[in-house]
């Protein structure tokens, strides 16, 4: 395999648009997962089986993509791939454990502190310079998430540490993703990640057992995988084009799209508190986009990959 790799051109505007698009499809995959783990389409499937379907169908999507596009591949950095996939799997597992002890809305609210950890780890592990605007944007978006999800006093108990652990794992995963985008092509990262994910998810599914899905559930499993594959494609593109600390506030767009899907599909019309929370989240992202848009963009040398 070829060993050369040319980083993509930095572009904060494209990065922000990519991350927002990713959150749209992440929320869509969650919608499919909600249908599968309830009796909406047949007997409820276990979360482990839904996770397995998500990785299998996403892997098929990227295998076809590699076969059609024939990208230039490099030697994978297996250590980073295992760290990234392990953090992603660990974050999901901790979330499953958290919701067994505290309300799901509370666990979700706590897990969405992950962009804060992404910002911190971007400074410590990536050496990124994070100015007051980026800190302020994350703080504003985090406030909006808290308003939107309405965490209760019951959230703050020992079991809440599980949800916070999930946030730390997911925040760390973003750092490994950023490191990978500096070394490998985006399609290769997605292919290897889902290959490793299939192995982990298959091992977990063997432990809990397989349940035969209905035809509608097979369609929803494909929907989870394909929507997540699309989300990953946008997400990797965004992470490759900007600092991890820059994209962090835009991750909260998942909450906005989730509320929108709830309203359109399930008729759960948002109240004024939901609208306020969504508006605060959007304001945080717009603050960052406006401030970063006024900076002089860096240019990447097309051959050597040197920032000028």
Reported as a single tens digit per residue, the pLDDT across 110-142 is 666 777 777 777 777 777 766 777 777 777 777
Q: How far apart are CA 284 and CA 281, in angstroms?
A: 5
Instruction: Map residue 208 onto helix, strand or coil.
Output: helix
Specify whether the CB–CB gap between 113 and 163 falls below 8 A: no
Structure tokens that stand for 246 in this block: 């820059």
List the structure tokens of 280. Answer: 């605060």
pTM of the model: 0.76
3-state secondary structure of 151: coil
Helix (H) or strand (E) holding 65: helix 47-69
Q: What is the pLDDT of residues 152-189, one digit of tens each?
A: 665 566 766 777 788 888 888 888 888 888 888 888 89
Spatial distance between the Cα atoms of 215 and 226, rounded to a whole number of angstroms:
17
């Amino acid at each position: 395999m070829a060993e050369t790799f040319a980083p993509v051109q930095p572009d904060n505007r494209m990065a922000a648009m990519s991350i927002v698009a990713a959150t749209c499809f992440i929320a869509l995959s969650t919608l499919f997962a909600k249908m599968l783990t309830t009796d909406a389409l047949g007997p409820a499937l276990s979360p482990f089986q839904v996770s397995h379907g998500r990785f299998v169908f996403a892997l098929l999507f990227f295998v076809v993509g590699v076969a059609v596009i024939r990208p230039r591949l490099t030697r994978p950095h297996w250590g980073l791939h295992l760290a990234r996939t392990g953090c992603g799997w660990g974050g999901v597992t901790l979330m499953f454990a958290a919701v067994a002890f505290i309300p799901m809305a509370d666990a979700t609210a706590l897990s969405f502190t992950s962009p804060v950890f992404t910002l911190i780890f971007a400074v410590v592990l990536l050496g990124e310079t994070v100015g007051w605007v980026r800190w302020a944007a994350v703080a504003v978006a985090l406030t909006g998430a808290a308003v939107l999800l309405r965490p209760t006093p019951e959230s703050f108990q020992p079991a809440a540490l599980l949800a916070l652990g999930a946030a730390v794992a997911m925040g760390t995963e973003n750092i490994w993703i950023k490191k990978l985008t500096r070394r490998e092509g985006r399609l290769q990262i997605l292919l290897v990640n889902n290959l490793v994910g299939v192995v982990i998810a298959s091992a977990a599914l063997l432990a809990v057992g397989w349940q035969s899905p209905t035809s509608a559930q097979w369609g929803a499993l494909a929907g989870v995988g394909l929507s997540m594959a699309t989300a990953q494609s946008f997400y990797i593109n965004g992470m490759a084009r900007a600092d991890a600390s820059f994209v962090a506030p835009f991750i909260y767009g998942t909450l906005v799209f989730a509320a929108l899907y709830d309203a359109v599909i399930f008729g759960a019309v948002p109240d004024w508190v939901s609208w306020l929370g969504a508006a605060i989240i959007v304001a945080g992202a717009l603050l960052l986009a406006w401030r970063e848009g006024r900076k002089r963009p860096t240019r990447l040398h097309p051959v050597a990959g040197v920032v000028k």
